[in-house]
Each structure stands twice: as C-alpha cells, then as structure tokens.
A = this chain, B = another copy of it.
Amino acid sequence: MSLDTARMVQMANAIRALSMDAVQAANSGHPGMPMGMADVATVLWSEYLKHDPKAPGWSDRDRFVLSAGHGSMLIYSLLHLAGYDRPTMEDIRNFRQIESPCAGHPENFLLDGVESTTGPLGQGLAMAVGMAMAERHLNATFGDEIVDHRTWVIAGDGCLMEGINHEAIGLAGHLKLGRMVVFWDDNNITIDGSTELSTSENIKARYEATGWHVVSCDGHDFDDIRRAIDEAVADDRPSLVACKTVIGKGAPNKQGTSATHGAPLGDEEISAARAVLGWDAKPFEIPEQVLSDWRGTAERGKKAHADWQDRLGQSGRRAEFERRMAGELPEGFSLDGYIQALIEEPQKVATRKASEMALAEINTKLPETIGGSADLTGSNNTKAGGIGPFTADDYSGRYVYYGIREFGMAAAMNGMALHGGVIPYGGTFLVFTDYCRAAIRLSALQQVRVVYVMTHDSIGLGEDGPTHQPVEHVQSLRMMPNLLVMRPADAVETAECWDIALRQPDRPTVLALSRQNLPQMRTHQLSENMTQYGGYRLKASQAPRRVILVATGSELHVAMECAERLEESGIGADVVSMVCTQLFDEQDDAYRSDILPDVSPDEILRVSIEAGTTFGWDRYTMTHGLRIGIDRFGASAPAGDLFDKFGLTADAIVPQIMNKLNG
C-alpha cells in the first residue's frame, strides 16, 4: 500500500536534502547520484525492500547493495530515515570526518545495513551476484520457509562500464538468478562529462544478450517505478531496471550535468534547490511528518521478520541454520585424523593435489563450503569430496563453474561470504591474482572468510612461461593488510593451512600451491598445527648453529637439502618453514627471537629461499643475510630446467652460503 504521492515526494526530498547538506558540510562528496536516485530508492525501500531496521542482521532480510558507492549519502539517508540505530543525525553531520561511520564510501564494517563495502566500481554488483547465489543455495538447502529473499542493487554507468560487469552479469544470467534486480541509474553522466564521450553501447541490448530481463522506467515517476519493479519481480531471470534519471535532480542550475557528480553544490545552489523542492527544513532537520512516514514503512518488515521467527522456531533445521549463519564450524570439526594418516603414510604430491585431498575431507565434513574454479578445475584441483555442480537447475550444488571470470569469481565469493551461511573457496592460477586483485583487497577490507586456491605458484609451472609464472605475486600479496598468504611445503602443511583458513571468520586467505610434486617434509607427528605460528623450526641444527635457512613451499625441500650438505661440512643449520609471514609476525617476541635470533650474521647467517622476488625478504634474513630468489621474469621450459637456470637448487645455493660464511 502506497502513501500518496505528495508525501512520497517529500520522503524522497529528505534524501536529497540530507545529501546536499552533508556533502556541503564535508566540503567533499557526491550529491548527484543520491539526488537522482532518491525517487527510485524511496519506492524500493518503503514498498519492496524486506528488512527490519531494528534487526539489521536478520538472516532472511533482502540484501541491498549500493554498487555506485560514491553516492554513499543515499544509503546513509535511507538507513537513518528508515529507523536504523545508526547512522544518527550526528553521524550524518560528520559525514567524511574522522571516526564517523558515515565514511566517504559505505563500509560494511562501520554500519549495520551496509551489506558490502562499495566504491571500487562494478564490484558491488558483482558481489550482489554472490549474495544471490548464496541465497538460492541456502533456499535449496533450508526451504522457502527459512530462506527466501531478494538482492537489490543500485548501479551507475561506471559499474556497467567496468569489465567486471560483463563477468558478473554473465554468471548471473547463466545461473538464472531471478531474485536479483539491478537498478541502473541511467543519467548519461560520468565524471568526465556526458557518457557520449566514451561509450556508444546499447546497454539494454547487452543485458538481454546475456540472459537478463530488461525493463525501463522514468526514475522520477513513482508509479512507473512500481510498474518496473513489479515486472522485474515477476520475471524469472535477473532483471535490469533502466531508470531514466536526472543527475542532481532538484538542483535547478546544475542538475543533469557532471557538476553535480562529485562536488558540493554550493550554498547558493542548495538554497535554490530547497526552493524548487519545497523543502523548508533546516539542514539536518527532517520534518516530523516526513520522518513519521519513513519510520512507518518499517512495519512491513517488522511483521515479516516476526512471521519468519515463528517459522524458524518450528523448523527442525533451526540449529543447523543458525550455526551456518553464525559462521561457526561444526563442533569437533578437525583434520587431525587426516593429518595423522599422512604422517603414517607420507605422500609425495603437488600441494594443489594435497589441497584436493584436504578438500575431500573438508567438503565431506562441512556442508557450508561452496567451491569453484575460473575454468581450471582440473588444474586447481578444487572439485573434491563428491560435491556436485551449482546450476540454474540445481542450486543445492556446491561446485561453481565460474567460467573464465577470475574477477567475477572473486567478487561473487565476497558476496557469498558477506551474505553468510556459506564458506566460499575458488581457484585459478596464482599469476591471475592480478586479474582479481581488486576483489582480494575487498575480501581483506571487508573482513570476510574467502579462501583463494591459487595454484601453479612459481616457475615450477614450467612450460607455460613468464605470462603464467608468478614472480612478484606471493610477496606483493603479503603486504596487503588483513590477508593471510600461505605457501605450504607439503601435504601436511597444506592441510594445516586449510584448517587455519577455515577458522578465520574475519579474514581471507590466499593459498599458494605448487603444480609440481613435492616430497612430504613433515613425517613425524608434532603436537599441534605448526602452521599456526606462521614460521616454525622444521629442523634444528646438529653441529653448532651457523646458519638458519628460511624457506617456503616448494623450496622447503631445497633448504633441507642445503642444510644436510652444510651439516656434512660441520656447519650447523636450522631450517625454518615460513608458511605464512603474517602469522609469524603476529607471534610474540619470545617466539620470534627463538626461531630467528637477532644476532650478527658473523654468528648466524640467515638465508631465505623462495622461487620469487627477493624484495622484502630482508625482513627475515636481516640486511647482511642471503636472499635466494628470482628478480626477473621467468621463462618457458620444463620446471626442472628452470630451477637449474634460476639457481634454485642446493648445488647452486650451498656454495653461496659457504662463500658468505667465509667472506
């Protein structure tokens, strides 16, 4: 049931006023989009969006993603007007100021109701695809009574021009995610000016070609907006609602131009806009009737929430559903038995294969995992444990054929993790982290549990050559905040890495895994998961310690071979497996200085060995240590030839160590 149009107009104008005023007060921000999409957002939030402002974490709420995140005042206005506890008006007054939850772009970790961090264009829409996938999967698992909600997105021209848009809508169209609706703010304006400067595309035809339902509306006509949403909801394909809007609508002299896009309107124009809009209230004040109309819209969701609570209470699946949504692993989940079996019967396998072996355990024990690969299933070894494909015909499947869409896959995984109830993992070659790095960063920033299964992690990839051989990637990812990068050396460490990754509710993990077979280094039982320390002493020196070899992944066995040769010459050498530098750095001083004592290289020489850039390894070797690695692009040849060529063998390394010790 709709309010009369005059009252709806003022509800929308409240968004416009808050947006103009907050941007003006901050002296920076983007008023154009919130003002242009205020009418669409008002209809959506007051009449369609299923949410309960007093229970923002309600599992069966609709998800709303502001993909055009620069228009953040739109969502801050909506949350405040609809009655969420935060942002308060004081928060909005402090838009873009230090410590305000009303940041320049919406941040999921600052405000309830902000489902995802947006601003890097295109990714919001792509994350929404993941949310819609998670929703359908959980629906297939738990039924309509418990999971049955929609995913709504507001996107701008930027979101639609970015390459990831193609990947995301291709996936959504193929998977027939009919409960997803994207509102395209079709205003013909980008930062540089008219969209005609840079594009001539028929967007609607492109979406139709990609399996989407497309409908258009006048984005300033409430009835037309309702008609379009009704059509979108009725169609079983994902829908694009092209909303013809005027950017900065209401600012009489600037609307329709890029001048409103990313700068304050100025006091004069704001006054003029107030006059045009018939908005008399002072800045940051909302007339009582308007606020009351907005707050009244929450009743619909409140009732839906209560009904859902009743249904959940009657469900036999309640405990399992709540466990999954809370992101807790099943009680007693452990890979210890599997690891014990490895210790008893060591395996010489590639760590990508070891990952598959671990996944066979994990996918059997954890029903919440959803795996996939960007068209490298057989290479990434990501399909394990008997999980079947997730398809338009069967959303209960747990394996996604993402296609050749690395960025779209990573963003979809972020969306799934944000939705909750599932733990997504997905694979590609490690070198192609470059294709999805912007989404990996959003995994880390948004504090979500996503596991990246990145195989073929060095020149060990061999013949495919330098385009496919990571050199700088492992190290460059290690410096990304809140991201765990793990490079296990054998089957045992790989299982330990998986165990740790699954137990990180608020950070993502990149597993860097070998193509080539590796000997099992861990062949006797240790009392605990050693990878949790990030780096640990695999071998203690026998002769008096003169050297500490610090290695990772496929170079750990090389380090061990070096150590053995050194010991034969009476030179004591520790070997440290540095599986995860981030976890090692988190250990206390006592642990770290036990493993890597802070003494002069004359006393103990530290040597790093990793088949990648040496840049940054000074951190663990100290300045006068020795860093063995590859500071150039790789080459195409069988892997063994490349390890020889680049000197990553004991034959090449030991003489350098001896030289340094004698130097």
With contacts A209-B202, A467-B69 taken as known, whether A167 is within 8 angstroms of B174 at the C-beta atoms is no
Q: Are A201 and B197 in contact (CB-based, < 8 A)?
A: no
A210 an interface residue at 8 Å Cβ cutoff?
yes
Which residues of B have CB within 8 Å of A478? 615
A401 an interface residue at 8 Å Cβ cutoff?
yes
In the complex, what's the smallest C-beta–C-beta distance from A383 to chain B, in angstroms? 9
A121 an interface residue at 8 Å Cβ cutoff?
yes
Q: Are B464 and A471 in contact (CB-based, < 8 A)?
A: no
Count A-side interface residues using an 8 Å CB cutoff: 108
19 A-B interface contacts by CB (under 8 A): A96-B463, A97-B641, A104-B468, A107-B636, A161-B170, A161-B403, A161-B405, A162-B404, A163-B163, A191-B377, A192-B378, A201-B210, A205-B208, A206-B210, A445-B633, A472-B479, A481-B613, A482-B632, A616-B618
Partner of A98, one of B201, B401, B407, B641: B641
Q: Are B432 and A636 in contact (CB-based, < 8 A)?
A: no
In the complex, what's the smallest C-beta–C-beta distance from A597 to chain B, in angstroms? 12
The complex places the Cα of A202 from the Cα of B475 at a distance, in Å, of 40
A265 an interface residue at 8 Å Cβ cutoff?
no
Partner of A199, one of B403, B441, B465: B403
Q: Are A401 and B445 in contact (CB-based, < 8 A)?
A: no
A239 an interface residue at 8 Å Cβ cutoff?
no
Q: Are A163 and B161 in contact (CB-based, < 8 A)?
A: no
Q: Are B401 and A197 in contact (CB-based, < 8 A)?
A: yes
Partner of A623, one of B28, B166, B618: B618
Top 7 A-B pairs, shortest CB-CB distance:
A163-B163, A198-B403, A166-B166, A103-B636, A205-B209, A98-B637, A476-B476
Partner of A375, one of B191, B203, B475, B477: B191
A48 an interface residue at 8 Å Cβ cutoff?
no
With contacts A163-B162, A166-B163, A619-B618 taken as known, whether A438 is within 8 angstroms of B445 at the C-beta atoms is no
A200 an interface residue at 8 Å Cβ cutoff?
yes
Interface string of A362-393 (1 = CB under 8 A from B): 00000000000101111100000000010000
Which residues of B have CB within 8 Å of A191? 375-379
Partner of A479, one of B170, B201, B202, B476: B476
A437 an interface residue at 8 Å Cβ cutoff?
yes
Which residues of B have CB within 8 Å of A379? 191
Residues of A within 8 A of B (CB): 26, 28-29, 69-70, 96-100, 103-105, 107, 117-121, 157-158, 161-167, 170-171, 173-174, 190-192, 197-206, 208-211, 373, 375-379, 389, 401-405, 407-408, 431-432, 434-435, 437-438, 441-442, 444-445, 462-468, 471-472, 475-482, 598, 613, 615-616, 618-619, 622-623, 631-633, 635-638, 641-642, 645
The complex places the Cα of A192 from the Cα of B372 at a distance, in Å, of 11
The complex places the Cα of A622 from the Cα of B119 at a distance, in Å, of 38
In the complex, what's the smallest C-beta–C-beta distance from A265 to chain B, in angstroms? 16
Closest to A461 in B: B104
Which residues of B have CB within 8 Å of A401? 192, 197-198
Which residues of B have CB within 8 Å of A202? 209-210
Q: Are B618 and A615 in contact (CB-based, < 8 A)?
A: no
Most buried by B among A404, A408, A616: A404
The complex places the Cα of A407 from the Cα of B434 at a distance, in Å, of 11
Which residues of B have CB within 8 Å of A482? 632-633
In the complex, what's the smallest C-beta–C-beta distance from A107 to chain B, in angstroms? 7
With contacts A200-B211, A642-B98 taken as known, whether A481 is within 8 angstroms of B472 at the C-beta atoms is yes
Closest to A471 in B: B481
Which residues of B have CB within 8 Å of A641? 97-98
Q: Are A174 and B201 in contact (CB-based, < 8 A)?
A: yes
In the complex, what's the smallest C-beta–C-beta distance from A303 to chain B, in angstroms? 36
Closest to A194 in B: B401
Q: Are A613 and B97 in contact (CB-based, < 8 A)?
A: no
The complex places the Cα of A408 from the Cα of B105 at a distance, in Å, of 25
Q: Are A465 and B166 in contact (CB-based, < 8 A)?
A: no
The complex places the Cα of A166 from the Cα of B616 at a distance, in Å, of 36
Q: Are B117 and A467 in contact (CB-based, < 8 A)?
A: yes
Which residues of B have CB within 8 Å of A200? 173-174, 210-211
Q: Are A479 and B199 in contact (CB-based, < 8 A)?
A: no
In the complex, what's the smallest C-beta–C-beta distance from A64 to chain B, in angstroms? 18
Most buried by B among A28, A69, A618, A636: A636
Q: Are A404 and B434 in contact (CB-based, < 8 A)?
A: no
The complex places the Cα of A167 from the Cα of B435 at a distance, in Å, of 14
Which residues of B have CB within 8 Å of A211? 200-201
Q: Are A170 and B199 in contact (CB-based, < 8 A)?
A: yes
The complex places the Cα of A352 from the Cα of B86 at a distance, in Å, of 37
Partner of A619, one of B615, B632, B645: B615
Which residues of B have CB within 8 Å of A208? 205, 209
In the complex, what's the smallest C-beta–C-beta distance from A297 to chain B, in angstroms? 29
The complex places the Cα of A472 from the Cα of B425 at a distance, in Å, of 24
In the complex, what's the smallest C-beta–C-beta distance from A598 to chain B, in angstroms? 8
Which residues of B have CB within 8 Å of A465? 96, 103-105, 107, 119
Q: Are B161 and A198 in contact (CB-based, < 8 A)?
A: no
In the complex, what's the smallest C-beta–C-beta distance from A477 to chain B, in angstroms? 8
Q: Are A107 and B161 in contact (CB-based, < 8 A)?
A: no
In the complex, what's the smallest C-beta–C-beta distance from A71 to chain B, in angstroms? 13
Q: Are A173 and B161 in contact (CB-based, < 8 A)?
A: no
Partner of A432, one of B197, B438, B445: B438
Closest to A169 in B: B201
Closest to A408 in B: B163
Closest to A166 in B: B166
Q: Are A432 and B210 in contact (CB-based, < 8 A)?
A: no
Closest to A640 in B: B98
The complex places the Cα of A637 from the Cα of B158 at a distance, in Å, of 24
In the complex, what's the smallest C-beta–C-beta distance from A112 to chain B, in angstroms? 18
Most buried by B among A173, A379, A438, A471: A438
The complex places the Cα of A117 from the Cα of B190 at a distance, in Å, of 33
